[in-house]
Structures are given as C-alpha cells and as structure tokens.
C-alpha cells in the first residue's frame, strides 16, 4: 500500500465518511489509473488523497498535492470555458467529463481526459469528488469521438455497484486478499469512466414530464 494511505478496518455503516475515505484510498493505492479524491466539505474543495499513478502523471509528490485545489494543474493554455464548466458542476455537486490542458510540475503540458464523479453517502449527502484521469497527450482512444463533454452522472445501477465495490474493498482488506482488492480497484476505475451525459436531476424531471 502507498505510504500515507490508511488501511480499512471499520464497517462502512460506522462513521461512513471516514470508512469510505479509507476504502477509496485503499482502492486508489492499488490502481494503475491516475486518481484523485477531493473533499467539497472543506473550503475550496482541496485534494485529500492522490495515488502514485496521479503523482507519476503530474510530477508532483503526494504531499505537494494534498491540501491543494486541482487548479494547481491549470495554466495559460487551459481553456477558460472548460474551467468554468468544471467549476459549475462542482458547485452544484454534479459530475462531469472534460478534456482539459493541464501542466506537470516541470511546466510541461499534458492533455487530460477528466472524469469527475460525486461520491455520496447512503443518505445521499455529498462526501467527495472522485477524479479519474486519462492522459491523451500521445493519442486519443477510439471511443473519444463518442464522448459527450460537460455535465455527467453515474446511473443509479452503477452507483449501487460503486458502493458494493467499496464494501468488497473493506472485506478484502480485512483478510488481506490482495487480488480481490486489485480487482475491486479495477472495477472502480471502470465505473468512474462510465458516466452518462447530463445532470441526473434534470433527466429525472424530463422522465416525469413524459
């Protein structure tokens, strides 16, 4: 496990925010995808955890990132419209998919396909934003042309599975089942990049109006 990440030792229903943090950071530590966790309950929504892959991508050490807002990665070539869309989504507790120009610690540019998912507790209250990054500097995936940028949401079925995967991380950690933790981390990465376009509340209103 990456240094500085806590182990999971509590039930998900006990002190849910802390237990979820431990489950998420445990999964992040075992993922090869660059991931970051931000806390909107703290002023300016700072990063509260990053994994090694995120540090490798950006060139920053974890202690340089934790406590900072993700704006740290923005610079002169970062599109102002994209920045505004991301900020608007975060302010309303929504997820988004964006293609954004970011900067590494050494000042070099990389093109970041960013997936941000709100992570809510079982009571529906927003706890964290979970960010998954895909470096597309050297080329874009075939499915890039089908991506809808802007507001996005996790469909209810996948949101339920997301919580189920976190519970699996808790259980697997208790018995030190590394393969199960890695499999769960892989599935979390898949879910976090399976966002559907549009705001969930808006889609619910439209469905009621039909």
pLDDT digits (tens, 9 = 90+) for 78-94: 999 999 999 999 999 99
Confirm whether 172 is domain-assigned: yes
**Burial class of residue 104 in the structure, from the number of CB atoms within 10 Å of its CB (0-12 exposed, 13-18 middle, 19+ buried):** middle
pLDDT over threshold 80, residue 9: no
Q: Is residue 1 part of a domain?
A: no
Q: How many domains does the chain have?
A: 1
Using alpha carbons, list the distances in angstroms from residue 122 to 40, 107, 146, 209: 17, 40, 32, 27
Q: Residue 2 pLDDT > 80, yes or no? A: no
The answer as to whether 194 is a domain residue is yes
Domain CATH number, residue 71: 3.30.450.20
Secondary element (H or E) of residue 100? strand 95-103
* Nearest one of 58, 50, 132, 62 to 97, comparing CA atoms: 132
Structural domain that includes position 91: 16-209
Q: Confidence band (pLDDT; 50, 70, 90) for 199?
A: low
pTM: 0.83
7 falls within a domain? no
Q: Is residue 5 part of a domain?
A: no
The lowest-confidence range among 42-56, 123-137, 195-209 is 195-209
Whether 4 is covered by a domain: the verdict is: no
In a domain? residue 161 = yes
Answer whether residue 101 is part of any domain: yes
Q: How many CB atoms lie within 10 A of CB 71?
A: 13
């Amino acid at each position: 496990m990456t240094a500085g990440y806590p182990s999971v030792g509590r039930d998900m229903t006990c002190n849910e925010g802390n237990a979820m943090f431990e489950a998420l950071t445990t999964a992040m530590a075992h993922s090869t995808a660059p991931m970051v966790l931000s806390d909107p309950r703290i002023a300016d929504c700072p990063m509260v955890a990053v994994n090694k892959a995120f540090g490798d991508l950006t060139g920053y050490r974890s202690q340089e990132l934790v406590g900072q807002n993700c704006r740290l990665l923005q610079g002169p070539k970062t599109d102002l419209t994209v920045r505004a869309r991301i900020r608007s989504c975060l302010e309303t507790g929504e997820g988004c998919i964006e293609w954004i120009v970011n900067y590494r610690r050494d000042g070099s540019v990389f093109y970041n396909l960013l997936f941000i998912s709100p992570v809510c507790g079982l009571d529906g209250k927003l706890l964290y934003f979970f960010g998954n990054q895909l470096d597309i500097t050297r080329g874009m995936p075939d499915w890039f042309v089908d991506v809808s940028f802007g507001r996005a949401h996790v469909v209810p079925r996948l949101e339920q599975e997301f919580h189920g995967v976190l519970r699996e991380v808790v259980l697997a950690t208790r018995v030190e089942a590394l393969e199960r933790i890695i499999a769960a981390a892989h599935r979390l990465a898949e879910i976090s990049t399976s966002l559907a376009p549009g705001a969930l509340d808006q889609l619910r209103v439209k469905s009621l109006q039909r």
